[in-house]
Amino acid sequence: MVSVTPSYQDLFSRPLSTDKIYVFENVLFKTDDYQLDEIAKSDLKKLYKELKKDTTLYVHIDAHTDSDGSFTHNAKLSSNRAISVSTYLIPLGLSKRRLFWMGHGGKRLVSNNDSNEGKQKNRRVEFTMSKKKGLGTASNKFEDD
């Protein structure tokens, strides 16, 4: 008997929990870039739909880089990635009050940085949905106009 299951399952095809860190599977960045492509935007729209279901949820966006480049450059690049993701959610209808973001640079590697595949995994964006406003003390937030 043979069973075939796909190796990729859409992150949003299953119920998501609060206070759990999720890695966007399709929000990937090229080296030294923070522009969102259409595939990334599709995942962000799915996140917005989840957040729309429960208006008491906050979302915390954490962006990362690989370890190539200087600490200062990677800190700015990861912040730009977090802002890019976060600001895409606002025109969809998510209140700025519900968004928190932080760039971590290359401090939290999840893969070997010696290969292109490993570097791509390190250039990730994570999110956490929470009933808590501002996880951790270092979360940046958007000021309302």
What does the domain layout of the chain look like in residue ranges? 17-136
By the 8 A CB rule, do 32 and 77 touch? yes
| pLDDT tens over the chain, length 145 residues | 544 444 445 777 888 889 999 999 889 888 888 999 999 999 999 999 999 999 999 999 999 987 888 999 999 999 999 999 999 999 999 999 999 999 998 788 777 777 778 878 888 999 999 987 766 544 566 554 3
Predicted TM-score (pTM) of the model is: 0.83
By the 8 A CB rule, do 55 and 123 touch? no
Indicate the residue type of 50. Answer: E
* CA distances to 19, 22, 67, 120 from 111, in Å: 23, 16, 11, 9
Can you point out the beta strands (E) in the chain?
22-23, 58-63, 99-103, 125-130, 140-141
Assign a CATH topology to domain 17-136.
60s Ribosomal Protein L30; Chain: A; (3.30.1330)
